[in-house]
Amino acid sequence: MGVNIRGRSFLKLLDFTTDEIKYLLALSADFKAMKRSGVPHRYLEGKNIVLLFEKTSTRTRCAFETAGYDLGMGVTFLDQNSSQMGKKESLRDTANVLGRMYDGIEYRGYEQKVVEDLAKYSGVPVWNGLTDDFHPTQMLADILTVQEEFGQIRGRKLTFFGDARNNVANSLMVVCAKLGMHYCACGPKEQMPKPELVEECRRIAQETGAVIELTDDVRKGAGNASVLYTDIWVSMGEDPSLWEERIRLLKPYQINAEVMAMAAPDAVFLHCLPSFHDRNTTVGEDIYQRFGLACMEVTDDVFYGPRSRVFDEAENRQHTIKAVMYATLK
Ligand code: CP
Ligand code: NVA
Reported as a single tens digit per residue, the pLDDT across 115-132 is: 999 999 999 999 999 999
The pLDDT tens digits of the residues spanning 166-224 come to 999 999 999 999 999 999 999 999 999 999 999 999 999 999 999 999 999 999 999 99
CATH topology of domain 138-315: Rossmann fold (3.40.50)
CATH label, 13-134+316-329, candidates 1.20.1730.10, 3.40.50.1370, 3.20.20.70, 3.40.50.20: 3.40.50.1370
Please enumerate in sequence order all residues whose Cβ is within 8 A of that of 97, keeping only pairs 6 or more positions apart, or say none: 89
pLDDT category, 86, cuts 50, 70, 90? confident
| Alpha-carbon dihedral angle through residues 273, 276, 278, 281, given to the nearest 10 degrees | 90
* CA of 317, nearest ligand number: 1
Query: How far is residue 300's CA from residue 285's CA, in Å, rounded to a whole number?
Result: 14
Q: In angstroms, rounded to a whole number, what is the distance separating the alpha carbons of residues 301 and 288?
A: 17
Question: Annotated catalytic, 231?
Answer: yes
Of the given ranges (77-81, 154-158, 232-236), which has the lowest mean pLDDT? 77-81
Q: Which of 137, 190, 187, 138 is nearest to 159 (CA)?
A: 187
Query: Would the CB of 130 count as within 6 Å of ligand 1?
Result: yes
3-class DSSP state of 307: coil
pLDDT at 1 over 70: no
In the chain, DSSP finds a helix count (H) and a strand count (E) of: 13, 9
Concerning whether 112 is annotated as a catalytic residue, the answer is: no
Alpha carbon nearest to ligand 2 atom 2, residue: 235
pLDDT digits 0-9 by tens, 18-52:
999 999 999 999 999 999 999 999 999 999 999 99
Cβ(283) – ligand 2 distance below 6 Å = no
pLDDT-based confidence at residue 316 (cuts at 50, 70, 90): very high
Can you give the residue ranges of every domain in the chain?
13-134+316-329, 138-315
**Alpha-carbon 276 to chain mean position:** 17
Q: Which of the four pLDDT bands, split at 50, 70 and 90, describes residue 303?
A: very high
Of 143, 52, 139, the closest CA to residue 98 belongs to 52
Evaluate: CB of 235 within 6 angstroms of ligand 2.
Answer: yes
Query: Given a cut of 70, is residue 162 above it in pLDDT?
Result: yes
Q: Is 152 noted as a catalytic residue in this protein? A: no
Q: Decide if 93 is catalytic.
A: no
Atom of ligand 1 nearest to the CA of 60: 8
Q: For 271-291, what is each residue's pLDDT tens digit?
A: 999 999 999 999 999 999 999
Which residue owns the Cα nearest ligand 1 atom 1? 272
Query: Average pLDDT over the chain, rounded to whole?
Result: 97
Q: Is 168 in the pocket of ligand 2 (CB under 6 A)?
A: yes
User: Pairing state of beta strands 182-186 and 227-230?
Assistant: unpaired
Top-confidence residue, 140 or 86: 140
Taking alpha carbons only, the member of 86, 8, 24 closest to residue 53 is: 86
Centroid of ligand 1 to alpha carbon of 110 (angstroms): 14
Is residue 304 pLDDT above 80, yes or no? Answer: yes
